[in-house]
């Protein structure tokens, strides 16, 4: 298996306070580098600063290796080009296409939003299913390979564009107390690639057509690790009026785990 070498999961992540070995780097971490760090190297322009593309890739890679090292995480050399592609093509949230949905209903209690009921239409997703020794490793290796698919390792040879959220399908035992280390990381193809999705160079990545689905979505902030996911699953089950759900759940991630107010969602899929 081609291991990208960082610990991350579907959108949220653990900061240093969550314990050793669980530091997370998300796609948006990589994108935000262009906003937070590029200006630190002169005026941030390759042309004006005289920096070659190779030097720029190395600088970005070394920055992320340094960040990851603080979380006991390793980012491998083959991630240099994908990291550079993301920081070049994503300058702010306006370049990130949301996964489209129709809002059906909102459930509130005492002014607090408990969950939203949404309709997601049929669409193409690039998916990879991975099972490693730990849940976090499975998420990491799957995501890094999806990231390479987005960044030119596809039949079009082009950067495909970013959509949010990146989702992780998690599976539990019957009483929802234990999460499987087998996960599926999925990326929604941007609208301009939905009709003819570029094929992955990685044979383990599969383009799937997900059917139209009704989702119950509950927002939560902070880390997304095994403990918080189990807690969120149980919290969601308590507030649903009709918890007719499957034993598979989706963690949807929108914001970078270093952010002080991380944005995640737990999705329950309505059973057909």
Distance CA 89, CA 103 (A): 30
Taking only the tens place, the pLDDT of each residue in 154-212 is: 999 999 998 999 899 998 888 888 889 899 999 999 999 999 999 999 999 999 999 99
Segment 240-250 shows an average pLDDT of: 70
Taking only the tens place, the pLDDT of each residue in 42-81 is: 333 334 445 576 777 788 778 767 765 554 456 778 877 8
- Residue 242's pLDDT is 60
Going from N- to C-terminal start, the domains of the chain cover 16-94, 95-270
What is this structure's pTM?
0.77
Find where tokens 């902070």 sit.
222
55-58 contacts, C-beta under 8 A, 24 or more apart: 56/84, 57/81, 57/83, 57/84
Q: SS3 letters for the chain?
A: CCCCCCCCCCCCCECHHHCCCCECCCHHHHHHHHHHCHHHCCCCCHHHHCCCHHHHHHHHHHHHHHHHHCCCCCCCHHHHHHHHHHHHHCCCHHHEEECCCEEEEEEEECCEEEEEEEEECCEEEEEEEEECCCHHHHHHHHHHHHHHHHECCECCCCECCEEECEEEEEEECCCCCCECCEEEEEEECCHHHHCCCCCECCCCCEEEEECCEEEEEEEECCCCCHHHHHHHHHHHHHHCCCCCEEEEEEEEECCCCCCCCCCEEEEEEECC
- Residue 248's pLDDT is 78
Find where tokens 């149980």 sit.
234
Distance CA 250, CA 234 (A): 14
The residues that bridge with 263 in the sheet, in sequence order, are: none
Q: What's the full length of the chain, in residues?
A: 272
Angle formed at CA 35 by CA 31 and CA 40, multiple of 5 degrees: 125
Q: What percent of the chain has pLDDT over 90?
A: 36
Distance CA 29, CA 26 (A): 5
Angle formed at CA 250 by CA 182 and CA 201, multiple of 5 degrees: 60
User: Can you identify the CATH homologous superfamily of domain 95-270?
Assistant: Regulatory factor, effector binding domain (3.20.80.10)
pLDDT > 50? residue 88 = yes
Indicate the pLDDT class of residue 222, thresholds 50, 70 and 90. Answer: confident
pLDDT > 80? residue 1 = no
pLDDT > 90? residue 244 = no
- Residue 221's pLDDT is 85
Compute the mean pLDDT over every residue in the chain, rounded to the nearest whole number. 76
């Amino acid at each position: 298996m081609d291991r990208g070498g960082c610990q991350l999961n579907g959108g949220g992540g653990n900061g240093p306070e969550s314990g050793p070995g669980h530091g997370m780097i998300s796609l948006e971490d990589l994108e935000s580098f262009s906003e937070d760090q590029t200006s630190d190297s002169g005026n941030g322009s390759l042309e004006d600063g005289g920096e070659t593309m190779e030097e720029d890739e190395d600088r970005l890679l070394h920055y992320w290796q340094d960040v990851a090292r603080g979380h006991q995480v390793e980012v491998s050399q083959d991630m240099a080009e994908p990291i550079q592609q993301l920081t070049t093509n994503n300058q702010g949230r306006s370049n990130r296409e949301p996964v489209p949905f129709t809002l059906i209903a909102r459930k509130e209690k005492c002014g607090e939003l408990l969950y939203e009921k949404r309709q997601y239409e049929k669409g193409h997703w690039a998916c990879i299913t991975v099972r490693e020794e730990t849940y976090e490793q499975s998420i990491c290796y799957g995501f890094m390979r999806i990231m390479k698919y987005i960044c030119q390792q596809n039949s079009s040879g082009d950067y495909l564009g970013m959509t949010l959220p990146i989702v992780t399908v998690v599976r539990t035992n019957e009483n929802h107390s234990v999460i499987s280390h087998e996960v599926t990381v999925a990326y929604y193809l941007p609208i301009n690639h939905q009709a003819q999705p570029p094929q992955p160079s990685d044979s383990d990545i599969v383009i799937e057509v997900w059917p139209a689905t009704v989702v119950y979505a509950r927002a939560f902030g902070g880390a997304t690790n095994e403990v918080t996911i189990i807690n969120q699953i149980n919290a969601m089950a308590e507030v649903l009026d009709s918890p007719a759900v499957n034993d598979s759940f989706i963690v949807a991630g929108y914001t970078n785990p270093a952010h002080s107010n991380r944005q995640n969602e737990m999705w329950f899929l309505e059973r057909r």
